[in-house]
Amino acid sequence: MQHSDYTIRELTLKANDIRQSIISMLLEAGSGHTAGPLGMADVFTALYFDLLRHDPENPSWPERDRLVLSNGHICPVLYATMAHSGYFPVEELMTLRKYGSRLQGHPHREFLPYLENSSGPLGSGLSQAVGMAIADRMDNGVATARTIYCLLGDGELNEGNNWEAIMLAGKEKLNNLIAIVDRNNIQIDGYTEDIMPLDSLNAKWEAFNWHVQEIDGNNMQEIIDAVHKAKAVFEKPSVIIARTIPGKGVKEFERKFEWHGKAPNKEEANIALDELRTLGGKIKSEHK
């Protein structure tokens, strides 16, 4: 579905705002993950502001799509996107990782009931999403119209539990399931292809009977198109391998695995925010 230049501009600007919130909340927290959240801001923006069936004023709407975050450590981008879309006040983002906050370092469904799952241990989210997709199929009610989305990291594909879930979803032909892999090529200890090579990911997922697309995960139009194509596949589950730039938007952070689990200090955050604000102005001027 081709969007107008104006719509793409507005979504891109929203992603830029979300990146600024991520930097600010990580600085306030003094800890957390930087690279993954910045890299996935475009995907989350496309989902929450264009693609998901959801209602921030009625989070438990029975017909809503479900979004399962498997790599819970990138939750700053989930929290920031949810706040910007109206689930809770943007000001609450500054409580990230603080004692008593609803916004813990890994998402806890009982603390923040707008979440579909708690996550932290890697490799579990896709199994949860497969269970939801099977349950919806069995339900034969209004829920059968919904899509289950599962977002997961590439590094966590080292976990064997993922491949059991991939195998089951393929066997059951769960066409109501869309997985989105953040293929940023980093994990906490280094680059994925040095630690445990993953490619060719496309061929591996295809072998398990999944419909596979590979896209630029920082291109808003490609993200939107890929999800629409996935929803048009009726005979198997779909995976979108989204190649993203970790630390996207801040040159000092981009493609450096050292920023996987590190928060910026005040000087680094100020540099990052200045760069993102400049980028926002550039986006506005290029799409007048």
Q: pLDDT tens across 114-173, in order?
A: 999 999 889 999 999 999 999 998 886 544 579 999 999 999 999 999 999 999 999 999
What the chain holds in terms of domains, given with CATH numbers, is 5-286 (3.40.50.970)
Instruction: Give mean pLDDT, residues 5-29.
Output: 95
218-265 confidence digits (pLDDT tens):
999 999 999 999 999 999 999 999 999 999 999 999 999 999 999 999
Q: What is the pLDDT of residue 286?
A: 77
| pLDDT the model gives residue 142 | 47
Check residue 284 and give its pLDDT: 85
Structure tokens at 35: 């690279």
- pLDDT for res 143: 45
In this predicted structure, what is the pLDDT of residue 139? 84
First to last CA, the chain: 22
The yes-or-no verdict on residue 1 having pLDDT over 60 is no
Q: What is the pTM of this model?
A: 0.96
Task: List, for residues 160-214, the tens digit of each pLDDT value.
Answer: 999 999 999 999 999 999 999 999 999 999 999 999 999 999 999 999 999 999 9
- Looking at residue 5, its pLDDT comes to 76
What is the pLDDT, as a whole number, of residue 4?
63
Dist CA 113 CA 102 (whole Å): 9
pLDDT band at 14 (very low <50, low <70, confident <90, very high): very high
For residues 215 and 86, give the distance between their C-alpha atoms in angstroms, rounded to a whole number: 28
pLDDT of residue 2 exceeding 80, the answer is no
Per the CB < 8 A criterion, the answer to whether 148 and 177 are in contact is yes
pLDDT at 285: 83
Inform me whether the pLDDT recorded for 63 exceeds 60. Answer: yes
What stretches of 30-159 show up as alpha helix (H) in DSSP?
35-39, 41-46, 75-84, 125-139
Residue 131's contacts (CB-CB under 8 Å, 6 or more residues apart) are none
Buried b (16+ CB within 10 A) or exposed e, 164-188: ebbebbbebbbbbbbbbbbbbbbbe
Start-end of H helices in 149-287? 160-172, 192-195, 201-207, 220-231, 266-286
DSSP at 258: G
Average confidence (pLDDT) over 7-36:
97
